[in-house]
Amino acid sequence: MAPTRREFLAAGLSGATLLATGPVLPGFLARTARAASSQNDERILVVVQLTGGNDGLNTVIPFEDDRYHRLRPTLRIGPQRVLKLNDTLGLHPEMAAFQRMYDDGLLSVVTNVGYPNPNRSHFASMDIWHCAQTGLQRCETGWLGRVVDRRASAGDAPFALHLDYEALPLALKTENQAVPSITNLDAFRLRGEADSLTHLLNASQEAPAVLDAAALDALRFVQRTAVASCANARRLEQIRTEQTMRAEYPGYGLARRLQQIAELIGADFGPRIFYTSLGGFDTHARQTLAHGPLLRELSESVAAFFDDLRARGRDRHVVLMTFSEFGRRVAENGSQGTDHGAAAPMFLAGPACRPGVLGSAPDLANLAEGDVRFERDFRTIYAAVLRDWLMIDPKEILGQPFEPARIF
């Protein structure tokens, strides 16, 4: 007996379900996919989200400012321990790997990054960074998701990939493309059973009898998606078998994720945007015990990642960017920690970046309600990444003009 219209579509959707989030129907069917620009084919962006609100003052330290030392009697890091970048700023002593990258011309340090009227809520401020919007309007798509919508082609390898244990971030939410969200390379699988997929791929033979034209188009789209997804999953299995480690990675979770990203880049799997995170930066108490190890994990993992890419001949094709939803307050609290603040530094890494410090030391004599004032809107960094690296008009993505920072 021929299957019903409902059975056709149910089989299609169950057979093509991916470990991915983002809309699949009907947005894909309503829009023409945009192919990636040939200028952009080799350029890759890796985003590392520092979740919790990284303490910028103990990351890029104004070691010559007496106010820093007075306001942080137990958390301050003295000039003799700081890894100096210039006469006024230095890195946390656990960031020796970043200092080596800085000395090698592979690291850009952008100071005092934030936005007007800062929000000290984790969720609200993270949404602002993810959406690239500071107003009260509801945001349905992220800034990187909007890039995916404009550049991805349906049926191809995914244009962006989220590799993390957290849910797909708002930054990657799209309107009409799907972005896979996986915990590791082995997790990229179709959820449907093989017989379900076989039924799906054979379904259109009887489809004209029970489906109208729109439903038939929908089913055929799901079929194409399923075939592409199977191919991607098999390709990932092949990559895991063929790829060998080209650099020594430390035993951190972030390092493992970046290693897998390097494998995908080395195999030219396809994504042009990768997104992962490092959590634990909400250091309200006993900050010294947690913050230094996190910064060491970040710097050593990123350094190993670029060593690996260099060995693969792909380092010049990759830019890595870090951000956190906010910094911490200048004065330490009564629990040997710091509370939610405002402006903080960002790092951009890779041979394509303009090395050095972009910006000045925080002005601790001119605080905004106890916080570092922002000197540079984070969207000027996004604008630089969009225009000068991903080769896309920033206004298309950000919705308003921002003068790109001189990152490249």
pLDDT bin (cut points 50, 70, 90) of residue 137 is confident
Residue 223 is assigned to a structural domain of this protein: no
Q: Identify residue 222 by its one-letter amino acid code.
A: V
Q: What is the span of the domain harbouring residue 69?
A: 33-188+245-398
Residues 6 or more apart whose CB falls under 8 angstroms from that of 45 comprise: 272, 273, 274, 318, 319, 320, 321, 385, 389, 390
Which residues pair with residue 91 across a beta bridge? 60, 83
Tokens, residue 285? 């108490």
Give the mean model confidence (pLDDT) for residues 81-93.
98
How do residues 219-235 score in pLDDT, each as one tens digit? 554 555 555 555 555 66
What pLDDT was estimated at residue 270?
Answer: 86
Which residues pair with residue 368 across a beta bridge? 371
- The CATH number of residue 347's host domain is 3.40.720
Residue 23 is assigned to a structural domain of this protein: no
Tell me the three state secondary structure of residue 57. Answer: helix
How do residues 57-86 score in pLDDT, each as one tens digit? 999 999 999 999 999 999 999 999 999 999
How far is the C-alpha of 97 from the C-alpha of 316, rounded, in Å? 19
Q: Does the structure show a pLDDT above 60 at 241? A: no
Which residues pair with residue 328 across a beta bridge? 340
What single-letter DSSP state applies at residue 159?
S
Residue 180 is assigned to a structural domain of this protein: yes
How far is the C-alpha of 215 from the C-alpha of 13, rounded, in Å? 12
Peptide bond into 23 cis (omega under 30): no
Q: Please state the domain count of the chain.
A: 1
Residue 43 is assigned to a structural domain of this protein: yes
Residue 181 is assigned to a structural domain of this protein: yes
What pLDDT was estimated at residue 231?
Answer: 57
How far is the C-alpha of 201 from the C-alpha of 197, rounded, in Å? 6
How do residues 373-400 score in pLDDT, each as one tens digit? 999 999 999 999 999 999 999 999 999 9
**E strand or H helix that includes residue 29:** helix 27-30
Contact in structure between 46 and 259 (CB atoms under 8 Å): no
* Signed CA dihedral, 337, 343, 344, 346: sign only: positive
Contact in structure between 344 and 59 (CB atoms under 8 Å): yes
Which residues pair with residue 160 across a beta bridge? 273
Cα angle 93, 95, 101; round to 5:
130
Q: Does the structure show a pLDDT above 80 at 17? A: no
Give the mean model confidence (pLDDT) for residues 280-298.
98
* Stronger pLDDT, 207 or 12, i.e. the higher one: 207
Residue 406 is assigned to a structural domain of this protein: no
Q: Does the structure show a pLDDT above 60 at 50? A: yes
Q: Does the structure show a pLDDT above 70 at 282? A: yes
pLDDT bin (cut points 50, 70, 90) of residue 135 is confident
How far is the C-alpha of 408 from the C-alpha of 394, rounded, in Å? 15
Contact in structure between 341 and 329 (CB atoms under 8 Å): yes
The highest-confidence range among 19-33, 54-68, 156-170, by mean pLDDT, is: 54-68
Contact in structure between 355 and 408 (CB atoms under 8 Å): no
How far is the C-alpha of 330 from the C-alpha of 339, rounded, in Å? 9
Nearest to 293 by CA among 239, 350, 238, 252: 252
**E strand or H helix that includes residue 356:** strand 356-358
* Stronger pLDDT, 19 or 178, i.e. the higher one: 178
Residue 182 is assigned to a structural domain of this protein: yes
- CB atoms < 10 A from the CB of 190, how many? 18
Between helix 194-202 and helix 5-15 the angle, nearest 10°, is: 130
Residue 205 is assigned to a structural domain of this protein: no
Tell me the three state secondary structure of residue 367. Answer: coil
Residues 6 or more apart whose CB falls under 8 angstroms from that of 173 comprise: 21, 22, 140, 141, 142, 145, 179
- DSSP string covering 237-305: HHHHHH----SPPPS-HHHHHHHHHHHHHHTT-S-SEEEEEE-----SS-HHHHHHHHHHHHHHHHHHH
